[in-house]
Chain A
Amino acid sequence: MARPVRTATAALAILWIAALHAGSGICAPARLSETGLYAEGRPGAIDPRNRLFSPQYPLWSDGAKKTRWVSLPAGSAIDTQSRGEWQMPVGTKFWKEFQFNGRKVETRFLWRATADRWIFATYVWNEEGTDAVLAPDAGVRGVVELAPGRSHDIPGVADCLACHGDRRPGPLGFNALQLSTDRDPNAIHGEPLAAGMTTVATLDRERLLSPAQPELVANPPRIKTADPQTRAVLGYFAGNCGYCHNRGGDIAYDGPSLKHSDLGDGDAVAAALLAKATAWQVPGQADGASYMLKGGRPEASAMLARMKSRRPSSQMPPLGTALRDEEAIAAIEAFIRSRR
């Protein structure tokens, strides 16, 4: 074989192999301090380029105090062509820090490393709280005792994928409703906006939405209901149930969509929930007598029954918690009792 041909063949082979493996060799850094969360040379100090945000309807995680940041690559913008499915630019990173009893326990990391690949990782904090190391793929069981016989687990990669890794991988609590400036004062476990937190208004002002979404500033997203109780209940469902219970086809589900972008007419969604019989039979109820929510009858309301359960075969959400969310249970039960 002539030398130029050999050279060409070798170069092609290298290019071919490189192309095949593009992105596949990227993995999560070994330590949280290597992910870009902290400022260079200032251990423990958040890099000011990382944006603090707080979804108005947070996912409840056994009462953990959670702090969240997002990093958008310089010069990039979020693709907002699909209102319900913001597409984050390549290079976007999310962090969520979990504290129990005032101690940092884990920080979860989502990174859109390439156009086709999100990386999901969890970092486990050391006792001193100085750094966190990458958790094993299987996760870590029993890192914090929450109650006798109940403990918090670090999720494994399969757990990450169960919620974040479907056909539309990415963050769950970073969308127009969650970042609305029209925050629900009655949101269950809601937190007030802190100074400097990212909202749809800041994203719009800094031209980080493409195409621009001025209506999100003029008319901030809101679950429209006749009463504040329904708004708060549906907001809780959006933050804790809607990522699976929607019409996106990720699971077989024929109830009303609880997705954040499908709750504009909240009263219609609430009415549909109250009218929807469910195949999942509440223990003790006759065949056909269980509903997603049954006005005036908490005992026939499957959603409430499954929120109350922390048994793996029936609890909802199915993963991520070991304890019942008593505040939410009380709020949803009060809502059910208020409906006839």
Chain B
Amino acid sequence: MTRTHKTTTVMVLAMAAFSGVLLRAMPPAGQDGAATPEKQKARVARGAHLVKSMGCNDCHTPWTMGPNGPHPDMTRALTGHPADLVMPPAPAPHGLWMGHVAATNTAWAGPWGVSFTANLTPDKETGLGNWTEEMFIATMRTGRHQGKGRPVLPPMPVQMLNALDDEALKSVFAYLQSLAPVKNRVPAPIEPADASANKEKN
């Protein structure tokens, strides 16, 4: 082996070893450890933009009637279906009118039964206060509650949110966790068979 080749070989091996060290140091996808305060602040800001622009308030904030028509009541932003608003039995879906929606936009009835939009504020008992970032991302990725539980029901567009990358979902979660916790126990969904009896609460 000539000296040039030896040098080349050593260079390649050294660079490969460095590459290996670098790769080992790279966190697996979705695991970047604790974010710095600056990064977390940036995430909260981006999450606020995403929540606002993706329409989360359309369903997770109760709507009210104003002089210009219905609009989200931002004094109850992202608190989900009001616990004190007990809905009457939902009309049965029929024909092309397969769904019905409450005046608040927070209760939806259709072939899946009745679903109530979740309290997204970080209240520990009734909101996302006990959720982790991993659970939130897993929910969006699997379409299951906390990534393991019951299916997330319509009209929640989890299949669309699944298109967001982990960083975007982390930003949304960071923003939601930055909100003031609001206690509001949203009812559990009602299956089609019992959709006429709104009695099961979460």
Residues of A within 8 A of B (CB): 4-5, 7-8, 11-12, 15-16, 19-20, 116, 158, 161-163, 166-167, 244, 249-252, 254, 279-281, 283-284, 287, 311-315, 318-319
Contact = CB atoms under 8 A, between A and B. Distances in A.
B86 interface: no
A252 B130 contact: yes
Contacts of B146: 250-252
B20 interface: yes
Most buried by A among B113, B125, B135, B201: B201
B35 interface: no
B149 A318 contact: yes
A12 B145 CA distance: 44
B20 A281 contact: no
A90 to B, nearest CB: 15
Interface of B: 4-5, 7-8, 11-12, 15-16, 19-20, 23, 28, 113, 125-126, 130-132, 134-135, 138, 141-151, 153, 185, 188-191, 193, 199-202
A311 B135 contact: no
B6 to A, nearest CB: 10
Contact of B16 (A15, A162, A284, A311): A15
A12 B134 CA distance: 35
B199 A283 contact: yes
A183 to B, nearest CB: 28
B202 A281 contact: yes
A313 B150 contact: yes
Nearest to A12: B15
B184 to A, nearest CB: 13
30 contacts: A4-B4, A4-B5, A4-B8, A7-B8, A8-B8, A8-B12, A8-B15, A11-B12, A12-B16, A12-B19, A16-B16, A19-B20, A158-B142, A162-B142, A162-B144, A162-B148, A163-B148, A166-B148, A250-B135, A251-B149, A252-B132, A279-B126, A280-B188, A280-B202, A281-B200, A287-B201, A311-B191, A313-B153, A313-B190, A314-B150
Nearest to B113: A313
Contacts of A12: 12, 15-16, 19
B150 A19 contact: no
A279 B125 CA distance: 8
Given A4-B5, A311-B193, 9 more contacts: A4-B7, A8-B8, A12-B15, A20-B23, A250-B147, A313-B150, A313-B153, A313-B190, A319-B144
Given A252-B135, A314-B200, A15 B12 contact: yes
A8 B11 contact: yes
A313 B113 CA distance: 10
A7 B185 CA distance: 65
A199 B97 CA distance: 58
A186 B200 CA distance: 34
B130 A116 contact: no
Contact of B143 (A5, A7, A158, A311): A158
A251 B145 CA distance: 9
A11 B11 CA distance: 10
Contacts of B5: 4
B176 to A, nearest CB: 14
Contacts of A254: 130
A26 B132 CA distance: 30
A332 to B, nearest CB: 20
A208 B146 CA distance: 35
A279 B151 CA distance: 19
Contacts of A281: 188, 200-202
A252 B113 CA distance: 25
Contacts of B23: 19-20
Contacts of B202: 279-281
